Amino acid sequence: VNCRQAAEELSRAQDEPAGGFWLRVHLAGCRDCRRFRHQLAVLADASLPAPEDGVGDERLSDSARSRIAAALAETPDES
């Protein structure tokens, strides 16, 4: 078992139960992979709520605004 395989397994463990005994043994003796594990945890922690809160300051362009407003106005009232 080497770091490359351990890194793959650590990544897989983010998505499903993974990581057997061999991984724990490797991590116990490998500070680099423990650091990578921490990086993955931080990354997952920050990624989870996803761009739900709409970060950034971009705005919908004026052309898109009027296009969408027009499309909404044209949509027949089916109900």
Kindly list the residues in this chain that would bind another protein in the complex (CB under 8 A): 2-5, 7-8, 11-12, 14-16, 31-33, 35-36, 38-40, 42-48, 50-52, 54-61, 64-65, 67-69, 71-73, 75-79
Ramachandran region, residue 2 (left: φ > 0; alpha: ψ -120 to 50; beta: rest): beta
Q: How far is the CB of 38 from another protein (least distance, A)?
A: 6
Q: CB-based contacts of 9: which residues, under 8 Å, 6+ apart?
A: 18, 19, 23
- 12 close to 18: Cβ distance less than 8 angstroms: yes
Q: How far is the CB of 21 from another protein (least distance, A)?
A: 19
Residue 21 or residue 57: which is nearer to another protein going by CB?
57
